[in-house]
Structure 1
Amino acid sequence: MSTGNAPDIRAGNQLEGKVALITGASSGIGAAAARLFAAEGAAVVLTARRKDRLDEVVLGIEAAGGLAVAVAGDVTSAEDCERAVAVAVDTYGRLDAAFNNAGWATAGQVLHEMTEGDYRRTLEVNVTGVWNCLRAQLPAMLESGGGSVVNTSSVAGTRATGASAAYVAAKHAVIGLTRAAAAEYGTQGVRVNALVVGSTRTEMMDQVLAGTPALEEAFLNESVQRRMAEPSEVARVAAWLCSDLSSFVTGAAVAVDGGTTAI
Protein backbone atom coordinates (compact mmCIF):
# COMPACT_ATOMS: atom_id res chain seq x y z
CA MET A 1 0.00 0.00 0.00
CA SER A 2 1.35 3.42 -0.91
CA THR A 3 2.31 5.77 1.92
CA GLY A 4 2.61 8.87 -0.27
CA ASN A 5 5.33 11.14 1.09
CA ALA A 6 5.62 9.39 4.44
CA PRO A 7 9.31 9.01 5.37
CA ASP A 8 11.04 5.65 5.70
CA ILE A 9 13.16 5.90 8.84
CA ARG A 10 14.80 3.13 10.84
CA ALA A 11 14.58 3.09 14.61
CA GLY A 12 17.65 4.58 16.26
CA ASN A 13 18.57 7.06 13.55
CA GLN A 14 15.51 9.28 13.36
CA LEU A 15 17.62 12.46 13.12
CA GLU A 16 20.33 11.04 10.85
CA GLY A 17 22.00 13.78 8.79
CA LYS A 18 20.08 16.65 10.38
CA VAL A 19 21.52 19.77 11.98
CA ALA A 20 19.76 20.74 15.20
CA LEU A 21 20.03 23.77 17.50
CA ILE A 22 19.10 23.33 21.17
CA THR A 23 18.76 26.19 23.65
CA GLY A 24 19.02 25.81 27.40
CA ALA A 25 21.36 22.91 26.64
CA SER A 26 23.67 23.17 29.66
CA SER A 27 21.47 21.09 31.98
CA GLY A 28 18.14 19.34 32.46
CA ILE A 29 15.92 18.73 29.47
CA GLY A 30 18.19 20.65 27.11
CA ALA A 31 21.29 18.62 27.99
CA ALA A 32 19.32 15.37 27.76
CA ALA A 33 18.02 16.44 24.35
CA ALA A 34 21.53 17.31 23.18
CA ARG A 35 22.79 13.82 24.01
CA LEU A 36 19.76 12.11 22.51
CA PHE A 37 19.68 14.17 19.30
CA ALA A 38 23.37 13.42 18.74
CA ALA A 39 22.81 9.71 19.44
CA GLU A 40 20.00 9.76 16.89
CA GLY A 41 22.39 11.06 14.22
CA ALA A 42 22.06 14.84 14.37
CA ALA A 43 24.91 17.32 14.41
CA VAL A 44 23.96 19.53 17.36
CA VAL A 45 24.64 23.17 18.14
CA LEU A 46 24.15 23.84 21.84
CA THR A 47 23.57 27.20 23.41
CA ALA A 48 23.09 28.44 26.97
CA ARG A 49 24.63 31.05 29.23
CA ARG A 50 27.02 28.68 31.05
CA LYS A 51 29.83 27.91 28.62
CA ASP A 52 31.63 25.55 31.00
CA ARG A 53 28.54 23.37 31.35
CA LEU A 54 27.97 23.42 27.61
CA ASP A 55 31.54 22.31 27.01
CA GLU A 56 31.01 19.33 29.34
CA VAL A 57 27.97 18.23 27.34
CA VAL A 58 29.86 18.64 24.06
CA LEU A 59 32.78 16.56 25.35
CA GLY A 60 30.41 13.78 26.35
CA ILE A 61 28.76 13.78 22.93
CA GLU A 62 32.08 13.73 21.12
CA ALA A 63 33.33 10.90 23.33
CA ALA A 64 30.30 8.89 22.21
CA GLY A 65 31.13 9.58 18.55
CA GLY A 66 28.68 12.42 17.97
CA LEU A 67 29.01 15.87 16.45
CA ALA A 68 28.47 18.91 18.66
CA VAL A 69 29.54 22.51 19.08
CA ALA A 70 28.86 24.94 21.95
CA VAL A 71 27.87 28.58 21.57
CA ALA A 72 27.51 30.57 24.79
CA GLY A 73 24.57 32.94 24.64
CA ASP A 74 21.38 34.25 26.19
CA VAL A 75 18.05 33.81 24.41
CA THR A 76 16.96 37.25 25.59
CA SER A 77 19.57 38.65 23.19
CA ALA A 78 18.50 38.64 19.54
CA GLU A 79 22.15 38.92 18.55
CA ASP A 80 23.06 35.80 20.54
CA CYS A 81 20.26 33.84 18.89
CA GLU A 82 21.38 34.98 15.45
CA ARG A 83 24.97 34.03 16.28
CA ALA A 84 23.96 30.49 17.30
CA VAL A 85 22.14 30.00 14.00
CA ALA A 86 25.11 31.41 12.09
CA VAL A 87 27.41 28.90 13.82
CA ALA A 88 25.08 26.07 12.79
CA VAL A 89 25.08 27.19 9.17
CA ASP A 90 28.81 27.98 9.06
CA THR A 91 29.81 24.72 10.76
CA TYR A 92 27.35 22.23 9.30
CA GLY A 93 25.92 23.99 6.25
CA ARG A 94 22.30 24.47 7.24
CA LEU A 95 19.70 24.27 10.03
CA ASP A 96 17.04 21.55 9.97
CA ALA A 97 15.66 21.51 13.51
CA ALA A 98 15.51 23.60 16.66
CA PHE A 99 14.46 22.83 20.21
CA ASN A 100 13.78 26.14 21.97
CA ASN A 101 13.95 24.89 25.52
CA ALA A 102 15.54 27.68 27.57
CA GLY A 103 13.30 28.81 30.40
CA TRP A 104 13.17 30.57 33.75
CA ALA A 105 10.68 30.38 36.60
CA THR A 106 9.97 31.55 40.11
CA ALA A 107 7.52 30.11 42.62
CA GLY A 108 5.81 31.09 45.84
CA GLN A 109 4.90 34.60 44.74
CA VAL A 110 1.31 35.72 44.39
CA LEU A 111 0.70 38.27 41.65
CA HIS A 112 0.67 41.47 43.72
CA GLU A 113 3.86 40.47 45.56
CA MET A 114 5.90 39.62 42.46
CA THR A 115 8.64 42.11 41.75
CA GLU A 116 8.77 43.93 38.46
CA GLY A 117 12.21 42.45 37.91
CA ASP A 118 10.98 38.86 38.28
CA TYR A 119 7.99 39.59 36.05
CA ARG A 120 10.16 41.05 33.29
CA ARG A 121 12.74 38.27 33.53
CA THR A 122 10.03 35.60 33.30
CA LEU A 123 8.56 37.13 30.15
CA GLU A 124 11.91 37.95 28.59
CA VAL A 125 13.30 34.42 28.87
CA ASN A 126 10.17 32.40 28.21
CA VAL A 127 8.44 34.54 25.58
CA THR A 128 10.90 37.01 24.07
CA GLY A 129 13.48 34.23 24.11
CA VAL A 130 11.31 32.01 21.93
CA TRP A 131 10.50 34.99 19.69
CA ASN A 132 14.20 35.78 19.25
CA CYS A 133 14.97 32.16 18.44
CA LEU A 134 12.19 31.83 15.89
CA ARG A 135 13.19 35.04 14.12
CA ALA A 136 16.74 33.75 13.74
CA GLN A 137 15.92 30.12 12.95
CA LEU A 138 13.09 30.41 10.46
CA PRO A 139 15.06 32.16 7.67
CA ALA A 140 17.80 29.51 7.91
CA MET A 141 15.23 26.72 7.69
CA LEU A 142 13.51 28.33 4.74
CA GLU A 143 16.89 28.59 3.03
CA SER A 144 17.43 24.87 3.68
CA GLY A 145 14.02 23.95 2.25
CA GLY A 146 12.17 23.39 5.52
CA GLY A 147 12.59 22.18 9.05
CA SER A 148 11.00 21.54 12.40
CA VAL A 149 10.89 23.72 15.53
CA VAL A 150 9.85 22.57 19.00
CA ASN A 151 9.16 25.16 21.71
CA THR A 152 8.96 24.23 25.38
CA SER A 153 5.74 25.30 27.03
CA SER A 154 4.26 23.79 30.19
CA VAL A 155 1.12 22.56 31.84
CA ALA A 156 1.08 26.18 33.02
CA GLY A 157 0.53 27.09 29.38
CA THR A 158 -2.91 25.47 29.49
CA ARG A 159 -4.26 26.53 32.90
CA ALA A 160 -3.33 28.15 36.19
CA THR A 161 -1.17 25.69 38.09
CA GLY A 162 0.06 27.45 41.18
CA ALA A 163 3.13 28.72 39.34
CA SER A 164 3.54 32.48 39.27
CA ALA A 165 1.01 34.43 37.21
CA ALA A 166 3.84 35.69 35.02
CA TYR A 167 5.02 32.13 34.28
CA VAL A 168 1.47 31.00 33.48
CA ALA A 169 1.05 33.96 31.13
CA ALA A 170 4.44 33.33 29.51
CA LYS A 171 3.83 29.65 28.82
CA HIS A 172 0.39 30.43 27.36
CA ALA A 173 2.16 32.87 25.05
CA VAL A 174 4.60 30.18 23.91
CA ILE A 175 1.70 28.06 22.68
CA GLY A 176 0.25 31.09 20.91
CA LEU A 177 3.55 31.84 19.17
CA THR A 178 3.84 28.19 18.20
CA ARG A 179 0.41 28.03 16.60
CA ALA A 180 0.84 31.34 14.79
CA ALA A 181 4.22 30.30 13.37
CA ALA A 182 2.87 26.90 12.32
CA ALA A 183 0.06 28.60 10.42
CA GLU A 184 2.35 31.12 8.74
CA TYR A 185 5.02 28.66 7.58
CA GLY A 186 3.04 25.46 7.03
CA THR A 187 3.12 25.69 3.23
CA GLN A 188 6.86 26.45 3.22
CA GLY A 189 7.99 23.18 4.73
CA VAL A 190 8.51 24.35 8.30
CA ARG A 191 6.65 22.66 11.15
CA VAL A 192 6.33 24.28 14.59
CA ASN A 193 5.08 22.46 17.69
CA ALA A 194 5.12 22.96 21.44
CA LEU A 195 5.66 20.60 24.35
CA VAL A 196 3.24 20.91 27.27
CA VAL A 197 5.69 19.72 29.90
CA GLY A 198 4.68 18.55 33.35
CA SER A 199 6.83 18.58 36.46
CA THR A 200 10.33 17.34 35.58
CA ARG A 201 13.40 16.54 37.69
CA THR A 202 15.68 19.32 36.51
CA GLU A 203 18.10 21.75 38.09
CA MET A 204 15.48 24.50 37.88
CA MET A 205 12.97 22.25 39.65
CA ASP A 206 15.54 21.58 42.38
CA GLN A 207 15.95 25.33 42.86
CA VAL A 208 12.20 25.86 43.09
CA LEU A 209 11.81 23.06 45.64
CA ALA A 210 14.76 24.34 47.68
CA GLY A 211 12.89 27.61 48.11
CA THR A 212 9.44 26.07 48.60
CA PRO A 213 9.80 22.42 49.74
CA ALA A 214 6.06 22.01 50.31
CA LEU A 215 5.52 22.15 46.56
CA GLU A 216 7.08 18.72 45.96
CA GLU A 217 4.06 16.74 47.14
CA ALA A 218 1.77 18.88 44.99
CA PHE A 219 3.99 18.33 41.94
CA LEU A 220 4.00 14.57 42.50
CA ASN A 221 0.25 14.41 42.96
CA GLU A 222 -0.67 16.46 39.90
CA SER A 223 0.35 13.61 37.57
CA VAL A 224 -1.87 10.54 37.28
CA GLN A 225 1.40 8.58 37.45
CA ARG A 226 2.22 10.25 40.78
CA ARG A 227 5.76 11.08 39.76
CA MET A 228 7.82 13.69 37.95
CA ALA A 229 9.31 13.14 34.50
CA GLU A 230 12.98 12.51 33.91
CA PRO A 231 14.55 14.98 31.43
CA SER A 232 15.19 12.16 28.96
CA GLU A 233 11.47 11.41 28.76
CA VAL A 234 10.75 14.93 27.55
CA ALA A 235 13.77 14.88 25.24
CA ARG A 236 12.48 11.79 23.44
CA VAL A 237 9.27 13.58 22.45
CA ALA A 238 11.22 16.62 21.26
CA ALA A 239 13.42 14.36 19.12
CA TRP A 240 10.38 12.73 17.54
CA LEU A 241 8.84 16.11 16.73
CA CYS A 242 12.11 17.28 15.18
CA SER A 243 12.29 14.15 13.04
CA ASP A 244 10.50 13.31 9.81
CA LEU A 245 8.55 10.64 11.69
CA SER A 246 6.22 13.44 12.82
CA SER A 247 5.89 14.90 9.31
CA PHE A 248 2.12 15.55 9.58
CA VAL A 249 2.27 17.14 13.04
CA THR A 250 2.37 20.93 13.24
CA GLY A 251 0.72 23.60 15.36
CA ALA A 252 0.27 21.05 18.14
CA ALA A 253 0.67 21.45 21.89
CA VAL A 254 1.86 17.95 22.76
CA ALA A 255 1.36 16.93 26.37
CA VAL A 256 4.38 15.34 28.06
CA ASP A 257 2.92 15.56 31.53
CA GLY A 258 2.15 12.13 32.95
CA GLY A 259 -1.54 12.74 32.43
CA THR A 260 -1.74 16.01 34.34
CA THR A 261 -3.89 17.71 31.71
CA ALA A 262 -6.12 14.62 31.39
CA ILE A 263 -7.83 15.34 34.71
Structure 2
Amino acid sequence: MSGKGFEGRSVIVTGAASGIGRAAALMFAKEGAKVLVADLNKDGAEETAKAIEAAGSTAVAVAGDLSDPQVVDEVVATVIRTFGSLDVLVNNAGITDSMSALADVEDAEWERVIRINLTAPFLLTRAALPHMLEAGHGTIVFTASEAGFRGSASGTAYTASKHGVVGLVKSLAVMYRGQGIRTNAIAPGGTQTNNLTNSLEPAKITALVNTMLGEAQPDGGPAPHGPTVMRDFLRTNPGRRSTPEEQAAAIVFLASDAAEMINGAVLPVDDGWSAV
Protein backbone atom coordinates (compact mmCIF):
# COMPACT_ATOMS: atom_id res chain seq x y z
CA MET A 1 0.00 0.00 0.00
CA SER A 2 0.95 3.62 -0.33
CA GLY A 3 -0.65 6.90 0.50
CA LYS A 4 -3.06 7.43 3.41
CA GLY A 5 -5.36 4.43 3.31
CA PHE A 6 -5.91 4.55 7.08
CA GLU A 7 -6.40 8.29 7.45
CA GLY A 8 -8.63 9.01 10.45
CA ARG A 9 -8.60 5.40 11.69
CA SER A 10 -7.26 4.16 15.00
CA VAL A 11 -5.26 0.97 15.35
CA ILE A 12 -4.04 -1.13 18.28
CA VAL A 13 -0.90 -3.14 17.58
CA THR A 14 0.32 -5.54 20.27
CA GLY A 15 3.88 -6.72 20.57
CA ALA A 16 4.87 -3.46 18.90
CA ALA A 17 8.09 -2.80 20.79
CA SER A 18 10.05 -4.78 18.19
CA GLY A 19 9.90 -7.14 15.24
CA ILE A 20 6.71 -7.60 13.24
CA GLY A 21 4.64 -5.50 15.64
CA ARG A 22 6.94 -2.51 15.47
CA ALA A 23 7.11 -2.73 11.68
CA ALA A 24 3.30 -2.93 11.48
CA ALA A 25 2.81 0.03 13.83
CA LEU A 26 5.16 2.17 11.75
CA MET A 27 3.49 1.07 8.53
CA PHE A 28 -0.03 1.84 9.77
CA ALA A 29 1.16 5.26 10.91
CA LYS A 30 2.70 5.92 7.50
CA GLU A 31 -0.72 5.15 6.02
CA GLY A 32 -2.30 7.81 8.21
CA ALA A 33 -3.50 5.78 11.20
CA LYS A 34 -3.39 6.81 14.83
CA VAL A 35 -1.63 3.96 16.59
CA LEU A 36 -1.74 2.59 20.11
CA VAL A 37 1.48 0.66 20.71
CA ALA A 38 1.07 -2.13 23.28
CA ASP A 39 3.85 -4.28 24.65
CA LEU A 40 5.20 -5.78 27.86
CA ASN A 41 8.46 -3.91 27.13
CA LYS A 42 7.74 -0.35 28.30
CA ASP A 43 10.91 1.21 26.89
CA GLY A 44 10.47 -0.51 23.54
CA ALA A 45 6.81 0.50 23.28
CA GLU A 46 7.66 4.11 24.03
CA GLU A 47 10.47 4.05 21.47
CA THR A 48 8.06 2.85 18.78
CA ALA A 49 5.53 5.54 19.71
CA LYS A 50 8.25 8.20 19.59
CA ALA A 51 9.39 6.98 16.17
CA ILE A 52 5.83 7.31 14.89
CA GLU A 53 5.49 10.81 16.29
CA ALA A 54 8.89 11.82 14.93
CA ALA A 55 7.62 10.86 11.48
CA GLY A 56 4.67 13.20 11.90
CA SER A 57 1.97 10.74 12.91
CA THR A 58 0.08 10.14 16.17
CA ALA A 59 0.79 7.39 18.70
CA VAL A 60 0.40 6.46 22.34
CA ALA A 61 2.11 3.62 24.22
CA VAL A 62 0.65 1.32 26.86
CA ALA A 63 2.91 -1.19 28.60
CA GLY A 64 1.85 -4.32 30.44
CA ASP A 65 1.06 -8.01 30.31
CA LEU A 66 -1.83 -8.45 27.89
CA SER A 67 -2.93 -11.62 29.62
CA ASP A 68 -3.85 -9.42 32.61
CA PRO A 69 -7.47 -8.25 32.23
CA GLN A 70 -6.65 -4.93 33.89
CA VAL A 71 -4.00 -4.20 31.27
CA VAL A 72 -6.42 -5.21 28.53
CA ASP A 73 -9.03 -2.81 29.89
CA GLU A 74 -6.40 -0.05 30.06
CA VAL A 75 -5.39 -0.59 26.43
CA VAL A 76 -8.96 -0.39 25.14
CA ALA A 77 -9.92 2.51 27.39
CA THR A 78 -6.82 4.43 26.30
CA VAL A 79 -7.46 4.01 22.58
CA ILE A 80 -11.08 5.15 22.95
CA ARG A 81 -10.20 8.04 25.25
CA THR A 82 -7.25 9.20 23.13
CA PHE A 83 -8.48 8.58 19.60
CA GLY A 84 -12.24 8.34 20.01
CA SER A 85 -12.69 5.02 18.25
CA LEU A 86 -11.17 1.63 17.54
CA ASP A 87 -11.07 0.59 13.91
CA VAL A 88 -8.33 -2.04 13.72
CA LEU A 89 -6.96 -4.50 16.25
CA VAL A 90 -3.72 -6.34 15.49
CA ASN A 91 -3.14 -9.24 17.88
CA ASN A 92 0.53 -9.77 17.16
CA ALA A 93 2.20 -10.25 20.56
CA GLY A 94 3.51 -13.75 21.18
CA ILE A 95 6.37 -15.89 22.39
CA THR A 96 7.94 -19.08 21.16
CA ASP A 97 8.64 -22.30 23.06
CA SER A 98 11.65 -24.56 23.49
CA MET A 99 10.38 -26.95 20.78
CA SER A 100 9.74 -29.55 23.45
CA ALA A 101 7.86 -32.73 22.60
CA LEU A 102 4.74 -33.21 24.69
CA ALA A 103 6.29 -35.57 27.26
CA ASP A 104 8.97 -32.98 28.00
CA VAL A 105 6.81 -29.86 28.23
CA GLU A 106 6.95 -28.32 31.70
CA ASP A 107 3.75 -26.95 33.22
CA ALA A 108 5.23 -23.45 33.46
CA GLU A 109 6.15 -23.35 29.76
CA TRP A 110 2.75 -24.67 28.65
CA GLU A 111 0.86 -22.19 30.79
CA ARG A 112 3.01 -19.21 29.75
CA VAL A 113 2.86 -19.93 26.02
CA ILE A 114 -0.90 -20.54 26.01
CA ARG A 115 -1.52 -17.52 28.22
CA ILE A 116 0.43 -15.11 26.04
CA ASN A 117 -0.23 -16.54 22.58
CA LEU A 118 -3.90 -17.50 22.95
CA THR A 119 -5.52 -16.18 26.12
CA ALA A 120 -4.16 -12.63 25.77
CA PRO A 121 -5.50 -12.05 22.23
CA PHE A 122 -8.81 -13.61 23.26
CA LEU A 123 -9.11 -11.16 26.16
CA LEU A 124 -8.16 -8.14 24.08
CA THR A 125 -10.49 -9.07 21.24
CA ARG A 126 -13.36 -9.60 23.67
CA ALA A 127 -12.74 -6.16 25.14
CA ALA A 128 -12.46 -4.50 21.73
CA LEU A 129 -15.51 -6.05 20.09
CA PRO A 130 -18.22 -3.99 21.83
CA HIS A 131 -16.69 -0.78 20.47
CA MET A 132 -16.43 -2.19 16.95
CA LEU A 133 -19.95 -3.58 17.09
CA GLU A 134 -21.35 -0.26 18.27
CA ALA A 135 -19.60 1.46 15.36
CA GLY A 136 -20.83 -1.19 12.91
CA HIS A 137 -17.38 -1.94 11.56
CA GLY A 138 -13.95 -3.19 12.56
CA THR A 139 -11.03 -5.25 11.38
CA ILE A 140 -9.04 -7.73 13.44
CA VAL A 141 -5.77 -9.31 12.31
CA PHE A 142 -3.95 -12.00 14.26
CA THR A 143 -0.39 -13.20 13.88
CA ALA A 144 -0.72 -16.97 13.66
CA SER A 145 2.17 -19.08 12.39
CA GLU A 146 3.24 -21.84 10.07
CA ALA A 147 2.83 -23.88 13.26
CA GLY A 148 -0.91 -23.21 13.02
CA PHE A 149 -1.03 -25.42 9.91
CA ARG A 150 1.16 -28.35 10.85
CA GLY A 151 2.90 -30.20 13.67
CA SER A 152 6.38 -29.95 12.22
CA ALA A 153 7.15 -26.27 12.71
CA SER A 154 7.62 -25.91 16.47
CA GLY A 155 7.13 -27.51 19.87
CA THR A 156 3.94 -28.76 21.47
CA ALA A 157 2.96 -25.64 23.39
CA TYR A 158 3.57 -23.19 20.56
CA THR A 159 1.88 -25.45 18.00
CA ALA A 160 -1.20 -25.83 20.19
CA SER A 161 -1.36 -22.09 20.84
CA LYS A 162 -1.20 -21.19 17.15
CA HIS A 163 -3.77 -23.82 16.17
CA GLY A 164 -5.93 -22.11 18.79
CA VAL A 165 -5.34 -18.73 17.17
CA VAL A 166 -6.52 -20.14 13.84
CA GLY A 167 -9.66 -21.36 15.58
CA LEU A 168 -10.30 -17.91 17.04
CA VAL A 169 -9.96 -16.33 13.60
CA LYS A 170 -12.44 -18.68 11.99
CA SER A 171 -14.96 -18.47 14.83
CA LEU A 172 -14.84 -14.67 14.87
CA ALA A 173 -15.29 -14.52 11.09
CA VAL A 174 -18.42 -16.67 11.26
CA MET A 175 -19.94 -15.07 14.33
CA TYR A 176 -19.54 -11.41 13.36
CA ARG A 177 -19.38 -11.19 9.57
CA GLY A 178 -22.98 -9.97 9.50
CA GLN A 179 -22.13 -7.12 11.86
CA GLY A 180 -19.36 -5.47 9.89
CA ILE A 181 -16.41 -7.19 11.53
CA ARG A 182 -13.68 -8.90 9.49
CA THR A 183 -11.11 -11.20 11.09
CA ASN A 184 -8.04 -12.69 9.40
CA ALA A 185 -4.51 -13.75 10.24
CA ILE A 186 -1.08 -13.95 8.76
CA ALA A 187 0.90 -17.16 9.20
CA PRO A 188 4.59 -16.24 9.11
CA GLY A 189 7.29 -18.70 8.27
CA GLY A 190 10.82 -18.01 9.47
CA THR A 191 11.19 -14.32 10.24
CA GLN A 192 14.13 -12.20 11.35
CA THR A 193 12.96 -11.20 14.83
CA ASN A 194 14.23 -11.49 18.39
CA ASN A 195 11.33 -13.73 19.45
CA LEU A 196 13.61 -16.50 20.65
CA THR A 197 15.73 -14.34 22.93
CA ASN A 198 12.63 -12.64 24.30
CA SER A 199 10.96 -15.95 25.14
CA LEU A 200 13.44 -18.45 26.58
CA GLU A 201 15.96 -18.67 29.39
CA PRO A 202 19.61 -18.43 28.21
CA ALA A 203 20.29 -22.10 29.06
CA LYS A 204 17.34 -23.24 26.97
CA ILE A 205 18.40 -21.03 24.08
CA THR A 206 21.87 -22.59 24.17
CA ALA A 207 20.46 -26.12 24.28
CA LEU A 208 18.05 -25.39 21.44
CA VAL A 209 20.63 -23.72 19.22
CA ASN A 210 23.19 -26.49 19.79
CA THR A 211 20.61 -29.12 18.90
CA MET A 212 19.51 -27.33 15.74
CA LEU A 213 23.15 -26.98 14.68
CA GLY A 214 23.88 -30.62 15.47
CA GLU A 215 26.43 -29.68 18.12
CA ALA A 216 27.01 -31.26 21.53
CA GLN A 217 25.16 -29.99 24.57
CA PRO A 218 27.18 -27.84 26.99
CA ASP A 219 26.54 -30.29 29.85
CA GLY A 220 27.48 -33.30 27.74
CA GLY A 221 23.98 -34.75 28.03
CA PRO A 222 21.72 -35.94 25.21
CA ALA A 223 20.07 -33.44 22.91
CA PRO A 224 16.42 -32.73 23.81
CA HIS A 225 13.99 -34.93 21.88
CA GLY A 226 11.67 -32.25 20.49
CA PRO A 227 14.31 -30.05 18.86
CA THR A 228 16.05 -33.17 17.51
CA VAL A 229 12.87 -34.16 15.67
CA MET A 230 12.14 -30.59 14.54
CA ARG A 231 15.67 -30.09 13.20
CA ASP A 232 15.19 -32.30 10.16
CA PHE A 233 11.82 -30.78 9.29
CA LEU A 234 13.04 -27.22 9.63
CA ARG A 235 16.18 -27.87 7.63
CA THR A 236 14.00 -28.90 4.70
CA ASN A 237 12.16 -25.55 4.72
CA PRO A 238 12.89 -24.30 1.19
CA GLY A 239 11.96 -20.69 1.87
CA ARG A 240 14.07 -17.80 3.03
CA ARG A 241 13.54 -15.94 6.29
CA SER A 242 11.37 -12.88 5.83
CA THR A 243 11.88 -9.42 7.24
CA PRO A 244 9.46 -7.99 9.80
CA GLU A 245 8.44 -5.43 7.19
CA GLU A 246 7.32 -8.15 4.77
CA GLN A 247 5.09 -9.63 7.46
CA ALA A 248 3.81 -6.20 8.43
CA ALA A 249 2.84 -5.44 4.83
CA ALA A 250 0.57 -8.49 4.85
CA ILE A 251 -1.03 -7.37 8.13
CA VAL A 252 -1.71 -3.88 6.79
CA PHE A 253 -3.18 -5.34 3.59
CA LEU A 254 -5.58 -7.61 5.48
CA ALA A 255 -6.72 -4.64 7.58
CA SER A 256 -7.22 -2.43 4.53
CA ASP A 257 -10.23 -1.76 2.33
CA ALA A 258 -8.46 -3.64 -0.44
CA ALA A 259 -9.16 -6.84 1.52
CA GLU A 260 -12.81 -6.01 2.15
CA MET A 261 -14.06 -9.43 0.97
CA ILE A 262 -11.40 -11.41 2.83
CA ASN A 263 -12.76 -12.79 6.09
CA GLY A 264 -11.70 -15.86 8.06
CA ALA A 265 -8.51 -16.33 6.04
CA VAL A 266 -5.14 -17.41 7.38
CA LEU A 267 -2.62 -16.05 4.90
CA PRO A 268 0.74 -17.85 4.69
CA VAL A 269 3.62 -15.37 4.49
CA ASP A 270 6.32 -17.98 4.22
CA ASP A 271 7.88 -18.02 0.75
CA GLY A 272 5.81 -21.08 -0.15
CA TRP A 273 6.69 -23.26 2.85
CA SER A 274 3.04 -24.15 3.46
CA ALA A 275 2.77 -25.35 -0.15
CA VAL A 276 5.48 -27.98 0.31
Q: Do they superpose with TM above 0.5? A: yes
What root-mean-square deviation, in Å, do the aligned CA atoms of Structure 1 and Structure 2 show?
Answer: 1.9
Q: Percent identity over the alignment? A: 38
Q: Is the 8 A contact 1:220 1:228 kept in 2?
A: no
Structure 1 counterpart of 2:180: 189
User: Within 2, Cα distance between the matches of 1:249 and 1:108?
Assistant: 32
Give, in angstroms, the shift of residue 220 of structure 1: 7.2
Structure 1 counterpart of 2:212: 215
Unaligned 5+ segments in structure 2 are 214-230
TM-score (ref. length: structure 2): 0.86
Give, in angstroms, the shift of residue 164 of structure 1: 1.2
Structure 1 counterpart of 2:252: 239
Measured at CA, do residues 80 and 65 of structure 1 come closer, stay the same or move farther in structure 2, by a change above 3 Å?
same
Q: Is the 8 A contact 2:146 2:153 kept in 1?
A: no
Unaligned 5+ segments in structure 1 are 1-9
Structure 2 counterpart of 1:229: 242
Measured at CA, do residues 218 and 95 of structure 1 come closer, stay the same or move farther in structure 2, by a change above 3 Å?
farther
Q: Is the 8 A contact 2:34 2:57 kept in 1?
A: yes
Q: Does residue 46 of structure 2 align to residue 49 of structure 1?
A: no
Matched residue of 2:85: which SS?
A: coil
Structure 1 counterpart of 2:269: 256
Which of 116, 141, 150 does residue 150 from structure 1 map onto? 141
Q: Does residue 214 of structure 2 align to residue 201 of structure 1?
A: no
User: Within 2, Cα distance between the matches of 1:22 and 1:241?
Assistant: 14
Measured at CA, do residues 120 and 210 of structure 1 come closer, stay the same or move farther in structure 2, by a change above 3 Å?
closer
Aligned residues: 253
User: Within 2, Cα distance between the matches of 1:220 and 1:164?
Assistant: 12
| Partner AA of 2:255 in structure 1 | C
Q: Is the 8 A contact 1:81 1:133 kept in 2?
A: yes
Residues 155-184 of structure 1: CA deviation (Å, up to 9, x unaligned): 100111241111111100100011001111
TM-score (ref. length: structure 1): 0.90
Who wins on radius of gyration, i.e. which is larger?
2
User: Within 1, Cα distance between the matches of 2:113 and 2:98?
Assistant: 11
| Partner AA of 1:215 in structure 2 | M
Measured at CA, do residues 18 and 251 of structure 1 come closer, stay the same or move farther in structure 2, by a change above 3 Å?
same
Which of 92, 100, 120 does residue 111 from structure 2 map onto? 120
Give, in angstroms, the shift of residue 22 of structure 1: 0.5
Structure 2 counterpart of 1:3: none
Give, in angstroms, the shift of residue 185 of structure 1: 0.6
Q: Does residue 94 of structure 2 align to residue 103 of structure 1?
A: yes
